[in-house]
A = this chain, B = another copy of it.
């Protein structure tokens, strides 16, 4: 007898047959005596279809009207899922973001949730209904439709779980949990039973796109018990997915490193011979930010002879643009040269265990060195060590590190 919020992504509701599968899973939870609130995304492909329509009319679509259009994707799914539920005898009612009153700020296409009115949902649950809510959308104070940005349905799920003080927020997706690394690269990759929020944040931001990063932050902040599961396994037969926990409740036997994440899409840029004086980092990165280019790793080493070298990575798609901007910046600040390399990738070892285990970094560097892999950049946080390397070594590096940290050993 628990209150469970379930979120189903676009591939889980991609067509009527899959929606029927989702309905049967929900019915099984109801039969076990649970109250269920469901959040759904748009059917896969639908959001892209709508974006293409908008872009055919406006190169840079008006954000308010874009939200009016995009929000219809989820609205269709909530109606269809309620129909599928009713067809198998489960009473259900749908709510758009505006109807359940997910109040957001007015930042169209990237709105933040301010509050949720849980009263109508509680009344429906009490009356024995499954509540089906459109993910990804809300409404601002003036009644304008807003959306939370791509992947925002995860955030809706977590926000509803927080507002309803649900026992668990289950995120159904096309994978059955969070893995130690990508099984396509390392066949021995294992599913993790638990992972901490901090680790999940590092894994998510490093390219393990199981969960939207904002939803993980949100869940951590509001102490929502979050679980990632597969919607393609039969109810009762599938595993328990991966539980994302607030506390580091791993026992001592457990591995220091939880997973190896990687990102193929890194491109490296270096400005050589930068005058080593205050404000120089801003002078270099300011124009990059203004061009809406996201910067990932930033490295500036100690200066020498009054100059220093400044490096950072960007998404590979932004490489040429960023390089052009840096050429202008170079003239302006009197730097020597701009170097670029878009054949790089990033590999990271993530684990809260490294806090209490010194020597993880050197263990990692030795393993890579033994394979002859040169490290181009190094960046560390409290629970993560990332290296930028030549992209041709990506698979090799991931496999080596996976083995080095004992992630392929069954426990």
Contact = CB atoms under 8 A, between A and B. Distances in A.
Contact of A65 (B16, B50, B82): B82
A68 B79 contact: yes
B94 A79 contact: no
Given A98-B98, A99-B143, A143-B99, A54 B83 contact: yes
Given A57-B19, A98-B98, A99-B143, A66 B79 contact: yes
Contacts of A71: 75
Contact of A16 (B16, B57, B59, B64): B57
Contacts of A93: 64
Interface string A1-28: 0000000000000001001100000000
A72 B62 contact: no
A294 interface: no
A59 B59 CA distance: 41
A61 interface: yes
A87 interface: yes
Contacts of A166: none
A57 B98 CA distance: 25
B65 A87 contact: no
A378 interface: no
A38 interface: no
A212 to B, nearest CB: 23
Interface in A39-93: 50, 53-54, 56-59, 61-62, 64-66, 68-69, 71-72, 75-76, 78-80, 82-84, 86-87, 93
In order of increasing CB-CB distance, the 9 nearest A-B pairs are A72-B72, A69-B79, A16-B56, A68-B79, A58-B83, A65-B79, A57-B83, A65-B82, A57-B84
Interface residues of A, number: 37
Nearest to A66: B79
7 contacts: A54-B79, A59-B87, A62-B82, A65-B78, A65-B80, A68-B75, A99-B143
B72 A75 contact: yes
Interface string A133-151: 0000000000111000000
A208 interface: no
Contact of A50 (B50, B76, B96): B76
A121 to B, nearest CB: 14
Contacts of A66: 79, 83
A66 B86 CA distance: 12
Nearest to A20: B57
B75 A87 contact: no
Contacts of A78: 65, 68
A65 B66 CA distance: 23
Contacts of A82: 62, 65, 68
A280 to B, nearest CB: 40
Given A53-B76, A65-B86, 18 more contacts: A19-B57, A57-B80, A57-B84, A58-B83, A58-B84, A59-B87, A65-B78, A65-B79, A65-B82, A65-B83, A66-B79, A68-B75, A68-B94, A68-B96, A69-B76, A69-B79, A72-B76, A96-B145
B96 A80 contact: no
Contacts of A62: 82-83, 86
A65 B94 contact: yes
A86 B72 contact: no
A50 B62 CA distance: 26
Nearest to A74: B72
A19 B55 CA distance: 13
Contacts of A98: 98
Contacts of A20: 57
Interface string A94-117: 101011000000000000000000
Nearest to A70: B79
B86 A58 contact: yes
Contacts of A84: 57-58
